[in-house]
Amino acid sequence: MKNIFLVVCIIWLCGGCGSPEPEGFRTIFDGETWAGWEGAKDFFRIENGAIVAGALDKEIPKNQFLCTEEVYGDFELRVKVRFTSRENNAGIQFRSKRIPNDHEVIGYQADVGFIGDRPLWGSLYDESRRNLFLLQAKPSLVNSVVKVEGWNDYRILCEGKTIKFWLNETLVLEYKEYEADIADDGVICVQIHGGVPAEAWYKDLKIRTL
Domain boundaries, the chain: 24-209
| Number of neighbouring beta carbons within 10 Å of residue 63 | 18
Whole-number pLDDT of residue 116: 86
Whole-number pLDDT of residue 4: 42
Q: What's this model's pTM, rounded to 2 decimal places? A: 0.88
Whole-number pLDDT of residue 167: 98
Whole-number pLDDT of residue 38: 96
Indicate the fold that domain 24-209 takes in CATH.
Answer: Jelly Rolls (2.60.120)
pLDDT values of the chain reduced to their tens digit, one per residue, 210 residues: 444 434 333 333 443 344 455 689 999 999 999 999 999 899 999 999 999 999 999 999 999 999 999 999 999 999 999 999 999 999 999 999 999 999 899 999 999 999 888 999 999 999 999 999 999 999 999 999 999 999 999 999 999 999 999 999 999 999 999 999 999 999 999 999 999 999 999 999 999 999
Burial of 180 (0-12, 13-18, 19+ CB in 10 A): exposed
